[in-house]
Every structure is written in structure tokens, then in C-alpha cells.
């Protein structure tokens, strides 16, 4: 079941539409060029998790792509309409425990100044994929794949839109298909100069455990630095805030593949799949730590 609500100036709370009927122009640049921005948030326990973080990141993605999108207030109103319709449509006692709220805005018609108003903007709510929930429990096998850019490309070539969440995810999906064809579940991209970047739909975290001089255990959580052109993950941000409050040390890469192999644990994190342990890299088992996974999962559960 999917609920669809368009942002439409003629309908202040959003315009409910049929997700199974044609809705978009075949000329919409979101369709013809994958030109637009989006967000995926988790709806669970009656709440859209980290909504404000998603709205802020969407605003940054829009700015980076010279796109004017609806206001945060218009998104909030459309989301409220969508989830009330979604909840009402669920059979009593059988509402999905976890659902995905997607916000999408495509580019509108050409303009002389290069800054474009949005063409279409809509919200969907649908059940979260079962596979992601299963992978949280089983963990995943991951391939390291070269993204083909070096780790300084984001600053040198801003037109590549590194770090913006745009609709151009065909490359990310192709990487996941490549992994699956080769017996793995997912991917961690590396840069051409050997840095660990991110997953096609996730942020990479690794943890180390050491002893300080006094013999106390020091737990450290590390993620690749944003300068490499990766998307700033809202889940990573929220986990880091929770880990800091619990006394963990935090580190922001450079991360290299050897650090993943030496770590106590490696996870892919994202808003809908949440925290997924990595069991192997390129076919070789790496360390997993059920206790750390449980600790980090508890932090993820506390995010709201």
C-alpha cells in the first residue's frame, strides 16, 4: 500500500492522488534526466524519525543543484496528510511496523538564470522493504568497488553534485546489482586514491576498542570524512551524538580499507535500514561484535 500526496499551491495540506494512476508529465526533467532531489525517512511508532534533519538536508541538496523547492512547512503539511491517510488505510492492528516516507522534488522548466523552480513535488508513504529488516539481523556481505573519482573531487568539481541527494541514483543501483551478481549483498565505494567513501544508500561506520594507560576500555566510532564528497548521513549524525553522550570517542576518517579489516566491527547505516553489520569484505570475513552491534542498535532505537 502506498499513499501519494502532491504539494500543490491550490491545496494547502497537499493534494492526495492515486499512486497507481499516471501523475507526471513525460517531459518532467525528474523523469527524463533524473534531475531533482529526494529524501527517505523512517515512519515508525507514529513518528517520522529525524524529520527536521531530512528537511534541512533536502534544502541543502536543492541549493547545491540550483533548485527552488517547497518550504519546510509545505513538506510538513503534505507529510502530515500522507501519514494520516496511510494510517487510516491500514487494517486495524495490521499497520506496518516500519514504513518509508519519501520526499521528491523534480526540476521545473528551463529558466534564464539557471535557478529553477520545482516541477513536481510529492510525498509517498509505503511499507519499509522486508529485505533491509532481515539484513539488520543477519548482517551483509559487501564488495569494495571503485567509484572512479579521487577523494578531492568534490571541491575540484562541484558540478558532480557530490554530497547532494539527487535523483540520479542509477549508478548506485548498478553498483548494488554488480554486488548481487557476484554473490554479495551491498557495496562500499572507495575513491581512486584508496579511501573508503560510503555505500550506495548508506554511510560506513567502524568501531575500535582499545585500553588506555589506566587499563580502561576506550571505544571509538569512526566514519569517513565529508570532504571525500560523501552524503552527510542523518543516521550517522544521530548515532554519533548518542555515542558521544555515552562516552565513546568519535573520529572522522580518512578511512582506508585496511582500517575496515582491522576494526572491531563495521556497519552500514541509513534511515530506513538502520544499522546493518558487515560480515565480510570482498569475500573475506571481518570482525563482528554482537555486543557493539547491540549497543549501537540501542542508540539507533533512541533516535527520534
Out of 202, 223, 228, 293, point to the residue binding ligand PLP (CB under 6 A): 202
Q: Mapping DSSP to helix (H, G, I), strand (E, B) and coil, where does residue 218 land?
A: strand
Residue with cell 584508496: 194
- Exposure class string for 150-185: b at 16+ Cβ within 10 A, else e: ebebbeeeeeebbbbbbbeeeeeeebbeebeeeebb
Among 44, 65, 120, 235, binds ligand PLP (CB under 6 A): 235
Give the ranges where the chain is alpha helix by DSSP (H): 29-32, 51-64, 72-89, 130-138, 153-156, 170-181, 234-245, 257-262, 290-302
**In the structure grid, which three cell numbers stand for residue 173, read together?**
543501483
> What does the alpha-carbon distance between residue 18 and residue 35 come to, in Å, rounded to a whole number?
23
What's the closest the beta carbon of residue 202 comes to ligand PLP, in angstroms?
5
Measure CA 193 to chain center: 24
Interface with ligand PLP in residues 249-288 (CB under 6 A): 269-271
Task: Residue 287: name the closest of 207, 224, 223 by CA.
Answer: 207
Pick out residues in 182-201 that bind ligand PLP (CB under 6 A). 198, 200-201
Q: Roughly how many angstroms between the first and final C-alpha of the chain, as a whole number?
A: 24
Say if strands 98-107 and 36-44 run parallel, antiparallel, or are unpaired: antiparallel
Kindly tell me which residue out of 99, 190, 203, 293 binds ligand PLP, with binding defined by CB under 6 A: 203
CB of 116 to ligand PLP, least distance (A): 23
Specify the residue, 77 or 274, whose C-beta has the smaller distance to ligand PLP: 274
Neighbours of 216 (CB within 10 A): 8
Applying CB under 6 A, the span of 26-34, 146-154, 228-236, 245-253 interacting with ligand PLP comes to 228-236
Instruction: Report if residue 234 touches ligand PLP, rule: CB under 6 A.
Output: yes
Pick the stretch among 90-98, 214-222, 231-239, 252-260 that binds ligand PLP (CB under 6 A): 231-239
Cα–Cα distance between 28 and 105 in angstroms, integer?
11
CB of 300 to ligand PLP, least distance (A): 10
Stretch that binds ligand PLP, among 4-12, 112-120, 234-242, 278-286 (CB under 6 A): 234-242
Check binding of 231 to ligand PLP (CB under 6 A): yes
Give least dist CB 118 to ligand PLP, A: 20
Footprint (CB under 6 A) of ligand PLP, residues 37-76? 40
Q: Is 166 in the site for ligand PLP (CB under 6 A)?
A: no
- In the complex with ligand PLP, the residue whose CB is nearer, 40 or 191, is 40
Of 96-155, binders to ligand PLP (CB under 6 A) are none
Residues 277 and 269: their CA atoms lie apart, in Å, by 9
The two beta strands, 67-68 and 116-127, are parallel
Min. distance of Cβ 126 from ligand PLP in angstroms?
15
Using the minimum distance from each CB to ligand PLP, give the nearer residue, 200 or 277: 200
| Residue 223 within binding range of ligand PLP, rule CB under 6 A | no
Closer of 120 and 203 to ligand PLP (Cβ)? 203
Q: Which residues bind ligand PLP (CB under 6 A)?
A: 40, 198, 200-203, 231, 233-236, 269-271
Amino acid at each position: 500500500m502506498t499513499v501519494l500526496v502532491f504539494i500543490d499551491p491550490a491545496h494547502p495540506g497537499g493534494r492526495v492522488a492515486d499512486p497507481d494512476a499516471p501523475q507526471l508529465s513525460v517531459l518532467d526533467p525528474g523523469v527524463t534526466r533524473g534531475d531533482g532531489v529526494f529524501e527517505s525517512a523512517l515512519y515508525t511508532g507514529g513518528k517520522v524519525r529525524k524529520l527536521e534533519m531530512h528537511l534541512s538536508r533536502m534544502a541543502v541538496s536543492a541549493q547545491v543543484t540550483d533548485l527552488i523547492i517547497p518550504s519546510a512547512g509545505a513538506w510538513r503539511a503534505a507529510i502530515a496528510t500522507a501519514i494520516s491517510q496511510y494510517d487510516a488505510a491500514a487494517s486495524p492492528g495490521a499497520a506496518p511496523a516500519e514504513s518509508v516516507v519519501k520526499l521528491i522534488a523534480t526540476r521545473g522548466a528551463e529558466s534564464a538564470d539557471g535557478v529553477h523552480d520545482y516541477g513536481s513535488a510529492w510525498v509517498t508513504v509505503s511499507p519499509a522493504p522486508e529485505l533491509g529488516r532481515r539484513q539488520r539481523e543477519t548482517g551483509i556481505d559487501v564488495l569494495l568497488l571503485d567509484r572512479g573519482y579521487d577523494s578531492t573531487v568534490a571541491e575540484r568539481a562541484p558540478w558532480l553534485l557530490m554530497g547532494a541527494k539527487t535523483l540520479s541514483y542509477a549508478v548506485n543501483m548498478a553498483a548494488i546489482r554488480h554486488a548481487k551478481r557476484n554473490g554479495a549483498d551491498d557495496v562500499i565505494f572507495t575513491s581512486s586514491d584508496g579511501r573508503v567513501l560510503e555505500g550506495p544508500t548508506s554511510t560506513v561506520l567502524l568501531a575500535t576498542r582499545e585500553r588506555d594507560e589506566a587499563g580502561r576500555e576506550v571505544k571509538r566510532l569512526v566514519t569517513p570524512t565529508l570532504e571525500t564528497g560523501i552524503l552527510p548521513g542523518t543516521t550517522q549524525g544521530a548515532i554519533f551524538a548518542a555515542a558521544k553522550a555515552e562516552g565513546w570517542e568519535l573520529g572522522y576518517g580518512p578511512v582506508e580499507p585496511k582500517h575496515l579489516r582491522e576494526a572491531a566491527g563495521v556497519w552500514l547505516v541509513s534511515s530506513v535500514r538502520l544499522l546493518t553489520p558487515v560480515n565480510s569484505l570482498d569475500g573475506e570475513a571481518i570482525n563482528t561484535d554482537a555486543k557493539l552491534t547491540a549497543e549501537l542498535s540501542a542508540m539507533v532505537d533512541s533516535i527520534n
